[in-house]
């Protein structure tokens, strides 16, 4: 009966509330304690990063040590400590902390990047190779990670492994021209001429406007005395660029070997004549022919030249720089964008396009341009800084803060740190 008494079986509403409060109170205190600790760690991280920026490495170590007592396995703190130790030249301690960080977060690609940097500094190529392999696994769709591995393998003269790495890279990211170029080099080192020629032909199809691939393919055919194939390649170049002197000279040599010397000489004479006519055109000149030609041309002459040669990089750049000087940043940005569309390997032009869009206050296009560039060069710090600037400009402050914090850990160039800290000041003032 006592157990079924309402006084025992059903506590009053007041008792229930009090009881719940007593049970919840310790957990609320715990939550507040965790929040206070998280806030303290965040403050210490920012303070330590500021010390790093000021190159006060001893001060940074002291701050990070304090933070690590509160959160000993935090990846950002451990990687920051690695940077500080590297700044002091204490590479042994840096190695200890990076190993601890990776043990706790082995799938963190940023940590492996830092491990690669440290391994390169200590010239531990075995460790560097391990880091590059891990990055290629973690960033399977990242072209630059595969390229870094392939190039390191080639540098270490592991050409068979380099070739295998190019095969994996093509499977992961597709037939990227830079990967295929490394593949050509590996085939050449291994003496696999037929495979090299096939890859050069693939490159020529992939980048039809990049005539250097065809020049190289034609040269390979010449070395093998495959005259008909060489003739076909050099003629295909002249069909695209009739004044290409290198292709003309090579074709003349091929025709001489085929017993058609007069035909080759006639073709070569016509190409040389074309080059002389181009050199005689005032103000509309290719740099190799007349170094001052483009800078001496008027704006109208440059525009006329570009109407006939719309992908001429030097002319596009010259006109863009003039537009910047005249205050027409958006038109300049459009020209820089034309350059990177045709010559995506021109890293400085990506940066120029972003800067011009930001100057012209088309911040969204600046962000889109930065994102496009990072698809090709994801590890290139100046591009990542340009993206951070664009994120601030479009008001995506949280994304910008995350990008800036990561960059402050990674970059070592003092000028880049100045830009990043100026962006932090800009965000605080918003």
pLDDT tens-digit map of 123-180: 888 999 999 999 999 999 998 899 999 999 998 889 999 999 999 999 999 988 889 9
What is the full DSSP assignment across 183-216?
A: HHHHHHHTT-HHHHHHHHHHHHHHSTT-HHHHHH
Helix (H) or strand (E) holding 363, with range, is helix 363-376
Residue 316 resides in a domain: yes
- At residue 338 the predicted structure's pLDDT band, cuts being 50, 70 and 90, is confident
How would you classify residue 283: left for phi > 0, otherwise alpha for psi between -120 and 50, otherwise beta?
left
Looking at residue 135, what is its pLDDT? Answer: 94
Are 332 and 310 in contact, with CB atoms under 8 Å apart? no
Looking at residue 187, what is its pLDDT? Answer: 94
Better-predicted residue by pLDDT, 345 or 240? 240
Residue 32 resides in a domain: yes
What is the full DSSP assignment across 382-417?
A: HHHHHHHHHHHHTT-HHHHHHHHHHHHHH---HHHH
Distance between CA atoms of 381 and 379, rounded to whole angstroms?
Answer: 6
210 phi and psi angles, rounded to 5 deg: -90, 95
Looking at residue 372, what is its pLDDT? Answer: 87
- At residue 293 the predicted structure's pLDDT band, cuts being 50, 70 and 90, is low
Which residue in 107, 156, 154 sits closest to 134, CA to CA? 107
Q: How much is the average pLDDT of 187-198?
A: 93
Distance between CA atoms of 368 and 319, rounded to whole angstroms?
Answer: 23
Looking at residue 132, what is its pLDDT? Answer: 94
Distance between CA atoms of 201 and 195, rounded to whole angstroms?
Answer: 10
Residue 200 resides in a domain: no
Mean pLDDT, the chain, rounded, equals 83
Query: Tell me: the pLDDT tens digits for 42-91?
Result: 888 888 888 888 889 999 999 999 999 999 999 889 999 999 999 898 99
Residue 30 has pLDDT above 60, yes or no: no
Q: Which of 96, 123, 150 is the last residue of a domain?
A: 123
Two structure tokens written together for 349: 């032009």
CA atoms within 13 A on the CB side of 371: 8
**How many domains does the chain divide into?**
2
- At residue 229 the predicted structure's pLDDT band, cuts being 50, 70 and 90, is very high
Are 199 and 216 in contact, with CB atoms under 8 Å apart? no
Q: How much is the average pLDDT of 180-189?
A: 92
Distance between CA atoms of 132 and 150, rounded to whole angstroms?
Answer: 9
Q: Tell the residue number behind the tokens 């009881």, with chain if given.
A: 19
142 phi and psi angles, rounded to 5 deg: -100, 110
Residue 246 resides in a domain: no
Q: Which of 123, 138, 157 is the last residue of a domain?
A: 123
Residue 114 resides in a domain: yes
Q: Which residues contact 217 (CB under 8 A, 6 or more apart)?
A: 197, 200, 201, 204, 233
* 265-284 as b/e: b if 16+ CB within 10 A: eebbeebeeebeeeeeeebb
Q: Which of 63, 98, 123 is the last residue of a domain?
A: 123
Q: Which residues contact 51 (CB under 8 A, 6 or more apart)?
A: 57, 59, 60, 63, 84
Q: Give the chain's radius of gyration (CA, Å).
A: 30
Residue 375 has pLDDT above 60, yes or no: yes
Looking at residue 383, what is its pLDDT? Answer: 92
Q: Domain range holding 372?
A: 311-430
Residue 338 resides in a domain: yes
Looking at residue 159, what is its pLDDT? Answer: 93
Residue 248 resides in a domain: no
CA atoms within 13 A on the CB side of 133: 10
Sign for the CA dihedral angle at 395, 143, 216, 197 comes to: negative
Q: How much is the average pLDDT of 345-358?
A: 91
Q: How much is the average pLDDT of 6-16?
A: 38
pTM of the complete model beyond 0.85: no
- At residue 286 the predicted structure's pLDDT band, cuts being 50, 70 and 90, is very low
Residue 42 resides in a domain: yes
Distance between CA atoms of 227 and 249, rounded to whole angstroms?
Answer: 14
The CATH number of the domain where 75 resides is what?
1.25.40.10
């Amino acid at each position: 009966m006592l157990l079924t008494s309402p006084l025992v079986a059903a506590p009053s509403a007041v008792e229930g509330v009090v009881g719940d409060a007593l049970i919840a109170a310790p957990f609320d205190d715990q939550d507040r304690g965790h929040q206070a600790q998280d806030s303290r760690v965040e403050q210490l991280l920012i303070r330590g990063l500021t010390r790093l920026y000021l190159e006060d490495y001893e001060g940074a170590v002291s701050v990070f040590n304090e933070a690590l007592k509160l959160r000993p396995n935090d990846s950002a703190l451990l990687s920051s400590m690695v940077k500080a130790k590297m700044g002091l030249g204490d590479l042994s301690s840096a190695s200890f902390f990076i190993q601890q960080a990776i043990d706790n977060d082995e799938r963190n690609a940023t940590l492996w990047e830092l491990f690669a940097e440290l391994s390169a500094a200590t010239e531990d190529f075995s460790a560097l190779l391990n880091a590059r392999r891990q990055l290629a696994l973690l960033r399977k769709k990242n072209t630059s990670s595969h390229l870094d591995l392939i190039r390191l393998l080639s540098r270490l003269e592991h050409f068979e492994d380099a070739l295998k790495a190019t095969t994996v890279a093509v499977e992961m990211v597709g037939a990227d021209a830079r990967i295929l170029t490394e593949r050509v080099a590996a085939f050449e080192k291994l003496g696999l001429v037929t495979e090299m020629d096939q890859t050069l032909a693939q490159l020529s199809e992939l980048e039809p406007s990049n005539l250097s691939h065809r020049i190289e393919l034609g040269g390979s055919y010449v070395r093998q005395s495959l005259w008909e194939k060489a003739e076909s390649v050099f003629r295909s170049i002249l069909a695209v660029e009739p004044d290409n002197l290198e292709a003309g000279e090579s074709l003349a040599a091929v025709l001489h070997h085929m017993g058609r010397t007069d035909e080759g000489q006639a073709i070569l004479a016509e190409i040389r004549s074309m080059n002389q006519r181009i050199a005689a055109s005032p103000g509309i000149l290719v740099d190799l022919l007349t170094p001052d030609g483009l800078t001496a041309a008027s704006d109208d002459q440059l525009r006329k030249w570009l109407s006939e040669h719309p992908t001429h990089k030097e002319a596009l750049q010259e006109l863009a720089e003039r537009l910047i000087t005249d205050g027409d940043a958006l038109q300049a940005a459009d020209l820089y964008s034309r350059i990177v569309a045709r010559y995506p390997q021109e890293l400085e032009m990506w940066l120029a396009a972003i800067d011009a869009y930001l100057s012209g206050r088309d911040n969204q296009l600046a962000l889109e341009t930065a994102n496009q560039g990072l698809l090709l060069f994801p590890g290139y710090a100046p591009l990542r800084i340009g993206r951070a600037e664009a994120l601030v400009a479009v008001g995506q402050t949280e994304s910008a803060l995350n990008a800036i914090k990561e960059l402050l850990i990674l970059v070592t160039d003092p000028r880049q740190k100045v830009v990043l800290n100026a962006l932090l000041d800009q965000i605080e003032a918003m």
